[in-house]
Amino acid sequence: MRDVRVVCRQRQMAKPRNAFQFRAEAVQDLTMRTCVAAVFLALVSGAFADESPRARDLGIPFHGEPGPNNAITDVAGVTVGYTTLIRGDGQLVIGEGPVRTGVTAIHPRGRDSTAGVYAARFSLNGDGEVTGAHWLDEFGTLYGPILITNTVSVSDVHAAAVDWMRQRNPHDMSHLPVVAETWDGMLNDHYGRHITREHVYAALDNATSGPIAEGNVGGGTGMRSFGVKAGTGTASRQVGPYTIGVLVQANHGLPWRLTIAGVPIGQILFPDTTNHFAAQRSDGSSIFVVVATDAPLLPMQLERLAKRPAMGIGRVGGVAERGSGEIFVAFSTANTIEPSGGETITIEVLSDDAEYTLDYIYEAVIDATEEAIINAIIAAETMVGVNGVRVERLDHSTVRDILRRHNRLQSPE
């Protein structure tokens, strides 16, 4: 796939009044901007890790033992692919751009497997969309990928994913991929529906294991959280012989609520001095969380697991605002579920009597969700989107200084 980037020279913006302040302002003097070429395009497939820093690189402390990549791909067999679309500049023209969006694809068993996994979902606040939800509720199984994109592109991504699945398994009578979304209309021409079948296929076909990119990638390209740029983030935890991995598409939260390592970063950098009930909105924010594990859990147990990301979201300051969709899916790769496995099957299940193990797995989901959200924020870069709207990244030096003053800064890993 192409990765074409045209460098633009832009008049330097005034330094924000503080490093955290939300900058979503139109650039008034667009004539001052000169570009080397008229088109800026970035189409990136696969999920290879980039050079973006992660939260631990800054010395931000977290509880729990991560896996080797500290990513959802630490769960054996899980692969992740992205297509990232960044094109155009200036005023919004629906159908033309600017484009700041993408799609993320997660294969529970890798691209080439048609076997299923046990799965479940939980909706903390249902202001959002997830296809295949009723199937998960009724049967507790997932055959195929999970995809995450923007709100308006759900139908396009779903149709493309069905075609992709049918081509690989033409004998199956029905294909029900899980497609979820968060809203990127602040930065992206979302009504332009720029994600095509080729983009979805690229994300599915180029999914990889190992370290994966974070921040402004995939479905998270145009997302922001707590008033700063965010997007895609991931983390993992080890619990005895089991691995728990989490991937988030973070697009939620209000600025003054941001909490990192227990420190009220948002209150320090963005004091809550306004009548926010009248003047502030969450602007359609949401977060979608995928939890993967190799612990042998049944759908009923996975439903309990799928509730725990809510507590990780709460740690960083999320409260599931009225207009926010907090929706989570959890799956286990421990048992292979064949489409036609016969009249009876034999499976392995972690007993409910193993309460301490289950408790630690629950805790691992909370810990990994917290870290994945902060990773999404730390890895993200400042982005200018439709109508010159600008969303700043969270300044790393400022965060480190605040954590140091509160004795919460560790030596970077």
| Token couple for 267 | 């209150």
Write the DSSP string, 278-302: HH---TT-EEEEEEEE-S---HHHH
What class is the 8-405 domain?
Answer: alpha beta
How far is it, in rounded angstroms, from Cα 123 to Cα 133? 10
The full 3-state SS of 163-188, as one line of letters, equals HHHHHHCCCCCCCCCEEEEECCCCCC
With H, G, I as helix, E, B as strand and everything else as coil, classify residue 363: helix
With H, G, I as helix, E, B as strand and everything else as coil, classify residue 382: coil
pLDDT per position in the chain (413 positions), as tens? 333 332 232 333 333 334 333 333 333 333 333 333 333 344 555 676 767 899 999 999 999 999 999 999 999 999 999 999 999 999 999 999 999 999 999 999 999 999 999 999 999 999 999 999 999 999 999 999 999 999 999 999 999 999 999 999 888 878 999 999 999 999 999 999 999 999 999 999 999 999 999 999 999 999 999 999 999 999 999 999 999 999 999 999 999 999 999 999 999 998 875 655 555 554 557 999 999 999 999 999 999 999 999 999 999 999 998 888 999 999 999 999 887 667 888 899 998 788 789 999 999 999 999 999 999 999 999 999 999 999 999 999 999 999 999 999 998 75
Domain boundaries, the chain: 8-405
| Token couple for 404 | 């140091």
How far is it, in rounded angstroms, from Cα 22 to Cα 263? 19
Catalytic machinery residues: 286, 324, 326
Closest by alpha carbon to 399, among 282, 279, 226? 226
- φ, ψ of residue 288 in degrees (nearest 5): -115, 135
